[in-house]
Amino acid sequence: MAVTDFFAGEIATELLKQLFLISAKAWKYKSTADKLIALIEDIQPTIKEIQYSGVELPAHRQAQIGMLFDTFEKGKKLTEKVLSARRWNMFRQLTLARKMEKLEKTITNFLKAPILAHILADVHRLRADSEERLDRVDRSLERVIQQVGSMKIGGGGMIREAMKRAEAMEIETNDDLEKFGVGLELGKIKVKKMIFEPQGGVFGISGMGGVGKTTLARELERDHEVRCHFENRILFLTVSQSPLLEELREHIWGFLSGCEAGNPVPDCSFQFEGTRKLVILDDVWTTQALDRLTSFKFPGCTTLVVSRSKLTEPKFTYDVEVLSEDEAISLFCLCAFGQKSVPPGFCNDLVKQVANECKGLPLALKVTGASLNDKPEKYWEGVLQRLSRGEPADDSHESRLLNQMEASLENLDQTTKDCFLDLGAFPEDRKIPLDVLINMWIELHDIDEGNAFAILVDLSHKNLLTLGKDPRLGSLYASHYDIFVTQHDVLRDLALHISNVGKVNRRKRLLMPKRELELPREWERNNDEHYIAQIVSIHTGEMNEMQWFDMEFPKAEILILNFSSDKYVLPPFITKMPQLRVLVIINNGMSPAVLHDFSIFANLSKLRSLWLERVHVPELSNSTTPLKNLHKMSLILCKINKSFDQTGVDVANIFPKLGDLTIDHCDDLVALPSSICGLSSLSCLSITNCPRLGELPKNLSKLQALEILRLYACPELKTLPGEICELPGLKYLDISQCVSLSCLPEEIGKLKKLEKIDMRECCFSGRPSSAVSLKSLRHVICDTDVAFMWDEVKKVVPGLKIEAAEKCFSLDWLDE
């Protein structure tokens, strides 16, 4: 069976589910969705027959079915965008409708050709040939069994020793290909495509610990097609964390050059003529070791590097992914029961719940499954409870899984390791706002934003977290509040496991592994002594006054409150956090929550960063206790409720040092209150994704320290006040997706320090003549059809880049 056949079947089913939702909910797309449903339902039986045929299709047939798979995959992504599209964004709705029509046309054209019929005919022919070959193999196997059965295996015999070694291997076994299934087969196909490049080179297999990288490399070493391509000239070496580099270099030199061992290895780069050879370097930890081992230049030589970090160029690296749910269940059952499915009489739901705690990670599935072999269901229930709390299932689970995963942290410096452990403070299966993470690291570890971002990238390259793919990421004026980080749950469990060592009062991080109705009893039992935690993370439902108990946190600098409710009483022990610098309040419920007891803010004199998400922002008054050191405030998905627009309120007195204000996805914000313009220290103002914002205050020129102004995705905003041109320090202006804006202020040329303008998806008919005076301007992003307007400016402003950006919802992918 071709691996793409399997995934085409799975994605076709997922795509159908999405299309049914669109047909039921989105009337603008109903006609096209219904046509697509009919097309896919017609071909689904054929796809399933190919999917479960059990035969390996020829390469050209795999390519053909792969084309259909790619179309389904892109279609699925399109339907996700349709379902998440906001109704008010007519431009987006129109663009998506055109893409849906294009998708229908693409699938229709594919089905006009009898490709699937030809593939099905090949399946039937190959199945018949395969059955005949299997019959011959069965007869040969019977003869071998008879011969082996007559052999006596004595103590210390070679066969027994081999069996012992096979049993002791944790990751590599003879049936790994069967265990890892289609996921491993897909990896083989992709890696073979890379390493079969005729010019050779250095390629990589990357992934977090325990994801099956070494297994994939071993399967490639044994693969018949790989051996034929390299004429059996393959060298497999394990490098490890503490490698003997000179000894390894000698092995590689002898293999590539044909010289006998013991000959001196040249230190510099020599080039030789030679035939195709493959060197597989497993368990490489550092770039320095890789450079040392790949310094020889042999034409036709291919090096495959297996590492937990991304040591090779991204385009030459295959990132091993976790298993799908079906694959994970099969592997788990194989290790727990010796078969690929749940045995009759055993609780199917219990097996799925325990397997799901492993989140598709092969090593976790194998270790956890093996630890539950021959155990009763009651024991399984206890294991499920421990795993859900981020604890090891048993001692063997801790030593074989978490300790092995912990090896990924050994090469990290202390600050980077601490930053990794901080990730345990966030709920499982939730996206972590990048802005929250960066702010936390800055305040807790005394590093600047650039170093914090460098640590983030380093952890991503080491596969210890996943950065959301966003073209803005890393650019000079990029916003971070709508970019997210994710982490595999087993890595989160590792962070929790390390952080939870020792008595609860003495831990540096006091964390709740999962959402509970109330605080952990262990915390209450120990509250007669103060806690030394620097990070406190609480994850509950609705909390009232009676559910909190007294706790003291003299060293707490970070407090993260996650809850799901429409009302929430803030914990009274906030008043006993005199060192608190970062407060994050996130409501995961469906509607904004009302927060009670805001009077506790009176003691937060050191608070520097405040993040409020999906809550009602309390009204400010002259009696509101000033937050004298607050530097950054983010209001996300909140109800503003005219909080800043109270007559006579001196906002500058309440927030005297506020330098960064973000208001994002606040749908009740109609006009930006003029009181905000009294924040003389404000250097960054972001008002984004506010669908009803129609007006900016006339006194914006008071914000003399403002350097960054983001106003993107505010479709009702019709004009920019001329006062914007009186901001002497403004360096970045983002008005992208403000579809009602028709022009820039006429005197924009006064902005002598303006470096970048993002005005994509704005309906501009011209540009102000004064723009030629923008001598500091170096980057303009606009739509292709208006890029010509900036040609005159480009002639007089040296080094100016005019980026004609594609629409966010381009149709190009359907034209491939």
List, for residues 552-566, the tens digit of each pLDDT value: 999 999 999 999 899
Query: Rounded to the nearest 10 degrees, how much is the dihedral formed by the CA atoms of 562, 565, 566, 567?
Result: -70
Q: What is the tally of helices (H) and strands (E) in the chain? A: 24, 23
The arithmetic mean of pLDDT across residues 488-503, rounded, is 85
State the amino acid at position 189 in one-letter form. Answer: I
CA distances from 76 to 8, 444, 469, 539 (A): 11, 41, 18, 33
Q: Is 41 left (phi over 0), alpha (psi -120 to 50) or beta?
A: alpha
Helix (H) or strand (E) holding 306: strand 301-307
Give Cβ neighbours of residue 536 (< 8 Å, ≥ 6 apart). Answer: 510, 511, 553, 556, 558, 559, 560, 577
Cα–Cα–Cα angle for 223, 173, 324, rounded to 5 degrees: 80
pLDDT of residue 796: 93
Give Cβ neighbours of residue 36 (< 8 Å, ≥ 6 apart). Answer: 15, 19, 75, 100, 103, 104, 107
Three-state DSSP at 395 gives helix
In three state form, how does the secondary structure of 205-265 look? EECCCCCCHHHHHHHHHHCHHHHHHCCCCEEEEECCCCCCHHHHHHHHHHHHHCCCCCCCC
Q: Per-residue pLDDT tens for 198-226?
A: 888 899 888 877 777 888 888 888 888 88
Q: Per-residue pLDDT tens for 747-768?
A: 999 999 999 999 988 888 788 9
Give Cβ neighbours of residue 296 (< 8 Å, ≥ 6 apart). Answer: 252, 253, 256, 257, 269, 270, 272
pLDDT of residue 49: 62
Structure tokens at 432: 């972590």
DSSP code string of 438-480: HHHHHHHHT--HHHHHHHHHHHHHTTSSEE---TTTT-TT---
Whether the pTM exceeds 0.85: the reply is: no
Tokens 């080039």 -> residue:
271
Distance of CA 222 to the CA centre of its chain: 32
Strand pairing category for 432-433 and 317-319: unpaired
Q: Per-residue pLDDT tens for 78-94?
A: 888 888 776 666 667 77
Counting Cβ atoms within 10 Å, is residue 395 exposed (0-12), middle (13-18) or buried (19+)? exposed
pLDDT at 518 exceeding the cut of 80: yes
Give Cβ neighbours of residue 497 (< 8 Å, ≥ 6 apart). Answer: 390, 391, 392, 398, 402
CA distances from 199 to 217, 265, 274, 692 (A): 20, 24, 12, 57
Give Cβ neighbours of residue 82 (< 8 Å, ≥ 6 apart). Answer: 22, 26, 29, 96, 100
Q: Per-residue pLDDT tens for 249-272?
A: 888 888 887 765 455 555 544 445
Q: Per-residue pLDDT tens for 582-632?
A: 999 999 888 899 998 877 877 788 999 999 999 998 887 777 788 899 999
Distance of alpha carbon 304 from alpha carbon 756, whole angstroms = 42
Distance of alpha carbon 251 from alpha carbon 248, whole angstroms = 5
pLDDT of residue 802: 93
Q: Per-residue pLDDT tens for 278-287?
A: 999 988 888 8
Distance of alpha carbon 637 from alpha carbon 173, whole angstroms = 50
Distance of alpha carbon 574 from alpha carbon 601, whole angstroms = 8
> Of all residues in the chain, what percent carry a pLDDT higher than 70?
79
pLDDT at 164 exceeding the cut of 60: no
The arithmetic mean of pLDDT across residues 681-700, rounded, is 92
Q: State the distance between the two ends of the chain, measured CA to CA, in whole angstroms.
A: 26
Helix axes 176-195, 3-25, angle to 10 degrees: 90
pLDDT at 405 exceeding the cut of 80: no
